[in-house]
A and B are shown apart, each in its own frame.
Chain A
């Protein structure tokens, strides 16, 4: 809901934007502190995980020396403030595991996640919008039931099983797609499908609900009685109004997709942010984890803001109780 107070008016949207962006600060502080606390409280620390990966049992002196090297022997608050101080100056530190810069890792991983996020949202939109409208318009008929049932199927299996199944049938048996990604568009097809299938299932129902809600509105009856064709009403008004809700919902999905989906990235070898952060959490690679949650906080605030602004521009007559705050 675009709660732009009336006194701001349309011309001070900039001020509104700035005010919303300022909420990023408490969110960032809260999230990064929470992350640090969680990692700190968990039983193992980066040094132990590193040495466990090597499979050897080093002497206590070696372990302590490595801890000191990484500054892990200092109190929790000091460690966090140290990280914060560096971050504020633009330095996201380096990974404990391999010494590479965190910012560098984020930048390298981002394109893969972005590719998948964009392609899966596009594919989802292409399929869910028309099908959702169809089920809404023919509500209660056979078409409605069939499509909705199919949409359930997409949502009923864990994504890694779907992915392996897709790989087995379409890549190995039929040979239409490569198994290992080869930086070409065709490598994106299966992972996009793996992501889009459950999302489409979910959104068909969302679109259906949004369109249905519009169809029950009085202006639709008004249009019909005025002699307008159903199709015109549908595409001109209903769809436009329904889009608001649909966009809101999709924006949340995009937000979470931009955090990457670890299972898909691992199976299709498209190492994006999901894979990076899963490895980082397992290895207790604090700087990388912090970098990731910073990124997610920014995404979250920015996407909420963009959605609200687009919302406002799409329909100035905002209703209470709908949408993001």
Chain B
């Protein structure tokens, strides 16, 4: 399938921006004018301007500094969620699809259990067990996000197993693992990557959702900043506006990236999945 050079260029641009953003977020905290955790009770609820470019929150902490410091948490947390889900889900899916038979049935029933299992119960339960905090929120969200990858790659593995070139490879004596690596994986990886990039924005919003329920850490993470500031939304809108803007811009980037990846890797939309 031919993809126009314009589409490819768009992907390159977006990918570059994305990578630059990730790298930037690693040290953005150091660029902050103030210590993101420094509490100054004499400077609370200041509007943007002067010493505090985006104002301060209820504890007198500089919002701009917190946004910079929180970039790595928010962005990397989303990445980790996607990578973890992807890794685990693909592992399960490949095993299930390639083994077939009873193993496949059993594994898919377990996947069913996880799919039927309400994510909200799992998130709160995990947070309750491990304690609130970003790391545990990431684990909770990864635990509910892996099933889409398992299903996806399994169906791909199943259909590819029937393909002639795989059968030929088997006849030639190639081992199962080498077939997996050489033939099945490269083909199946495309829809997985598409799903993954589209999962990014959902993961970021998932973290915000957890802080709504009070399950996120109190460090400078954009979602936590939103939930801390929402009671002051009317009097001090900057406390919500700027973290929301940060989330907004990054999520749009993730969405654009996801769509672009899909346009390049899978332009016919044939391998569209369910949970985008």
A and B touch in the complex (CB under 8 A): yes
Interface positions of A (Cβ within 8 A of B): 1, 23, 26-27, 30-31, 34-35, 38-39, 41-44, 148, 152-153, 155-161, 164, 168, 202, 205-206, 209-210, 212-213, 216, 245, 248-249, 252, 259, 262-263, 274, 277-278, 281-282, 289, 292-293, 296-297, 299-301, 320-321, 323-325
- Name the A residues within 8 Å of B108 (CB-CB): 325
Q: Name the one of A39, A206, A252, A293 contacting B118, with C-beta atoms under 8 angstroms.
A: A293
Q: How far is the CB of A40 from chain B (nearest CB, A)?
A: 10
Q: Is the CB of B205 within 8 A of A281?
A: no
Can you report 17 residue pairs joining A to B where beta carbons are below 8 Å apart?
A27-B112, A38-B125, A41-B129, A44-B128, A155-B251, A156-B251, A160-B209, A160-B227, A168-B234, A206-B272, A252-B274, A259-B118, A281-B125, A292-B121, A293-B118, A300-B115, A325-B151
Using A23-B112, A289-B121 as known contacts, say yes or no to A156 and B255 having CB atoms under 8 A apart. yes
Interface positions of B (Cβ within 8 A of A): 108-110, 112-113, 115-118, 120-122, 124-126, 128-129, 151, 155-156, 159, 201, 205, 208-209, 212-213, 223, 226-227, 230, 233-234, 240, 244, 247-248, 251-252, 255-256, 259, 262, 268-272, 274-276
Pairs of residues from A and B, 7 with the lowest C-beta to C-beta distance, nearest first: A158-B208, A30-B113, A156-B251, A300-B116, A209-B269, A42-B128, A213-B269
- Name the A residues within 8 Å of B252 (CB-CB): 152-153, 156
- Name the B residues within 8 Å of A278 (CB-CB): 120, 124, 213
Q: Is the CB of A262 within 8 A of B109?
A: no
- Name the A residues within 8 Å of B118 (CB-CB): 259, 277, 292-293, 296
- Name the B residues within 8 Å of A35 (CB-CB): 117, 121
- Name the A residues within 8 Å of B112 (CB-CB): 23, 27, 30, 300
Q: Is the CB of A23 within 8 A of B209?
A: no
Q: Is the CB of B159 within 8 A of A321?
A: yes
Q: Name the one of B129, B155, B274 contacting A249, with C-beta atoms under 8 angstroms.
A: B274
Residue among B205, B213, B227, B272 with most chain A CB within 10 A: B272
Using A42-B128, A156-B248 as known contacts, say yes or no to A277 and B276 having CB atoms under 8 A apart. no
Q: Is the CB of A252 within 8 A of B275?
A: yes
- The closest CB in chain B to the CB of A213 belongs to B269
Q: Is the CB of B240 within 8 A of A30?
A: no
Majority secondary structure of chain B interface residues (helix, strand, loop or mixed): helix
A161-B244, A277-B121 provided; 10 other pairs, C-beta below 8 A? Answer: A30-B110, A38-B125, A157-B244, A159-B209, A161-B226, A161-B230, A168-B234, A205-B259, A293-B121, A321-B155
- Name the B residues within 8 Å of A44 (CB-CB): 128
Q: How far is the CB of A119 from chain B (nearest CB, A)?
A: 21
In angstroms, Cα B198 to Cα A249, docked, is 15
Residue among A23, A153, A281, A293 with most chain B CB within 10 A: A281
Using A152-B255, A205-B259 as known contacts, say yes or no to A320 and B205 having CB atoms under 8 A apart. no
In angstroms, Cα B234 to Cα A35, docked, is 40
Q: How far is the CB of A80 from chain B (nearest CB, A)?
A: 15
Residue among A156, A168, A248, A300 with most chain B CB within 10 A: A156
- Name the B residues within 8 Å of A248 (CB-CB): 274
In angstroms, Cα B213 to Cα A323, docked, is 33
- The closest CB in chain A to the CB of B211 belongs to A158
- The closest CB in chain A to the CB of B271 belongs to A321
Q: Is the CB of A206 within 8 A of B124?
A: no
Q: How far is the CB of B60 from chain A (nearest CB, A)?
A: 23
- The closest CB in chain A to the CB of B123 belongs to A281
In angstroms, Cα B269 to Cα A30, docked, is 35
Q: Name the one of B109, B124, B209, B268 contacting A26, with C-beta atoms under 8 angstroms.
A: B109
In angstroms, Cα B140 to Cα A281, docked, is 15
In angstroms, Cα B244 to Cα A177, docked, is 25
Q: How far is the CB of A129 from chain B (nearest CB, A)?
A: 16
In angstroms, Cα B270 to Cα A61, docked, is 64
- Name the B residues within 8 Å of A292 (CB-CB): 118, 121
- Name the A residues within 8 Å of B226 (CB-CB): 158, 161
